A = this chain, B = another copy of it.
Amino acid sequence: MSSGQSQTPSAEAQAHHYDPSKYERPSVTVDVVMMSIRQSDLQVLLVKRRSWPYEGMWAIPGGFVHIDESLEDAAKRELREETGVQDVYLEQLYTFGDPGRDPRMRVITVVYYALLDSERLQVRAADDASDVGWFSMYNLPELAFDHAEILAYTLQRIRGKLEYTTIAFNLLPEQFTLRELQRVYEIILHRKLDKRNFRKKILSTGILEDTGAKKMEGTHRPARLYRFNPAAVARQ
């Protein structure tokens, strides 16, 4: 760690009192934990590293923050580059910056997570490169850097938010059945929920709107299709 960096005393000569060019600057990246429900599982998109360090291991996709780009824009850019999708739920998770977390240099990474509607994702599902893949959050490969810690924290966070926000809807297409919604909850919380209590609770909040349509699938009674009604203002 703390290798001798080539410092750029570049653009900002205008700094008045404190002069930041005196300081050796860390690099700043954004990493984006992109998750989706796939194969009845909570999965995350990872990329395989091609070079040192951690060559051959899997990592959370990320990259440098451009100098004129907001952190969120950088995260959106990563998201677009990896999945092609836009307008997804994206939220800042935490910033990891221990010296030594990257053996090459000091890197501070601002981590975002994204929840992807599995349906819209199909479009680009066939990613060309074999060095990009979806993995179960419950059965991860060996991960580069401190990425295992980051994913553990991500899971903890979305579990917490599941209960008092509407983030679950971001993992479903516009229309969905109550059972599908329940499955999202079950997969993230990693435990079975009672069907009747779940329906009662969700419906009582009024955040669902009956579309009138039904979804027929398999050899059984068809299910009503609902849609999320954002008019209900749960706390963020």
Contact = CB atoms under 8 A, between A and B. Distances in A.
A201 interface: no
Nearest to A109: B95
A142 interface: no
Interface string A12-46: 10111110110111111000000000000000000
Interface stretch (A58-66, A178-186, A188-196): A58-66
B68 A97 contact: no
A2 B68 contact: yes
A51 interface: yes
A69 interface: yes
Nearest to A55: B16
A129 B10 CA distance: 16
Interface residues of A, number: 56
Contacts of A108: 28, 65, 71, 108, 110
Contacts of A136: none
Interface stretch (A99-107, A113-121, A213-221, A226-234): A99-107
A11 interface: yes
**9 tightest A-B CB contacts, nearest first:** A12-B105, A71-B97, A24-B67, A17-B51, A25-B25, A20-B27, A95-B95, A2-B68, A16-B50
Given A8-B66, A11-B77, A23-B27, 18 more contacts: A1-B68, A2-B68, A5-B66, A8-B25, A11-B105, A12-B104, A12-B105, A14-B64, A15-B105, A16-B47, A16-B49, A16-B51, A17-B51, A25-B28, A28-B97, A92-B95, A95-B110, A108-B110
